[in-house]
Structure 1
Amino acid sequence: MTTSPVAGLLLAAGGGLRLGGRPKALLTYRGRLFVDLAAEALRAAGCAPVHVVLGAAAPEVRTRAALTGCAVVENPDWPTGMGSSLRAGLASLPAAAGAALVALVDQPRIGAAAMRRVAGAYRSPAGLAAAAYGGRRGHPVLIGAQHFAGVCAGARGDVGARGYLRGREVALVECGDVAAPDDVDEPGDLVDLPT
């Protein structure tokens, strides 16, 4: 398997409670599953390997999604929140990974162009970077391997790396010209996606 200093990590375990229990990985945008769009974008951005963390409806996602070439990580603790998925995903990465580019499955308008820009900010395992939209920090987030333990220690409930990153130097990479950070959390968010 091809590797790069930057591994891709897609968090796709959510059950979509505010979407009536529709797992976000199985939502579609322009005829494609959210999970397929995001995993493909990470691969196209040059991330290798790409690990995908599943939880809600994992057997159905495995059956329906085109995750060939991705390592699938099942998180049995997904109901406890995104923090457990981030911990499981980071723990699954190979020791040789210099950093993880962390993407969220519920942002279908963040594609390979933005992911490539943020991955390109990698300089060393000590680095931290994130996409910015109009100067405001968002996803994906590049986490250098030297930060994995600290991020995992603080990732609890629905808190991922946010607490750990607060107060640390994070390089912002403007992506507002190539992507939109819309989260799909409620039924209206799906309706509002441009066709």
Structure 2
Amino acid sequence: MLVEIDARGLACPKPVINTKKELDKLENGIVLVTVDNAIARENILKLSKSLNCEASTIKEEKDLIVLEIKKGKDVIIENKKNEELEDKCIFISSDKMGQGNDELGDVLIKGFIYTLTEVKPYPKHIVFVNSAVNLTAKNKATIENLKILEECGVEILSCGTCLDYYGLKESLEVGCVTNMYNIVDIMKNTSQTISI
């Protein structure tokens, strides 16, 4: 069975949600998804992997990207798990820690992220939204420590809408771009979410 989805022009996370709805209906077959930006492509590729589907980009032009997703019993995607990771999500919504003095807040968030590298087990996910995306795209001190965590298997995720809003889409230095569907899915399915 072949299903085609045209998700061009749809705001995040609708391309992912529409793709998941079609994949959920399908037992075996192929879903072709057309999107118009790289962030949507990456989010759909990540969704496909999480659903144990095989996905690839079969066409890419300026504002036209076509993805082919194969679903069926013969498709097996290896899911690597790091046993040293704890089933927790750290949710960071600001590039400062706490309320009050911004200079102090900047020092505290740098210290917090450094301390995460020193305390095991590491969390499975660290999600950055709103101004916190500065920590994955602009703040050299936090980027260096986040790369240490990423190398150990921690998933570092920055909200694509937030990166766009702050003009940082091309500046991401650690981790990958995510969407609201994936963020909600992680928060619902991990044993604990800690908000900073």
**Which structure features the higher share of helix residues?**
2
Q: Which has the higher contact order (CA 8 A, sep 6+)?
A: 1
TM-score by length of 2: 0.32
More strand by percentage = 2
Q: TM-score, normalised by structure 1?
A: 0.32
